[in-house]
Amino acid sequence: MACPKPQLTPELQQAFLSRPGELLHIHDEETHKDYLIIEQGVMPTLDEQYIRDGLALARRQIADGLTSNRCIGDVIAEAQLRHGKK
């Protein structure tokens, strides 16, 4: 048996219509949890925008002289330590 799909409230529908293709951030005051809702099929566009934004930030940092001598291996090792992986 399929579970019924929850319906958007008129308020959420209006939020989606006012910002098409964007993530909708929702905070639940009762549980203090945050949720992200996105229109199906939009995620590939967001991934591309995320990459473009990251590259733009990197270009600004380089232009401002904010560079590092760290290699990718150092960055990966640090991330693995932070996340408890060997």
Residue among 68, 69, 86 nearest 77 (CA): 86
pLDDT digits (tens, 9 = 90+) for 25-57: 888 899 988 888 888 888 767 778 888 888 899
Distance CA 86, CA 55 (A): 29
Only one residue has tokens 């549980």, namely 31
pLDDT for the residue 10: 94
pLDDT digits (tens, 9 = 90+) for 63-72: 999 887 778 8
Please tell me the pTM assigned to this model.
0.45
Q: How high does pLDDT run on average in the chain?
A: 84
Domain boundaries, the chain: 18-82
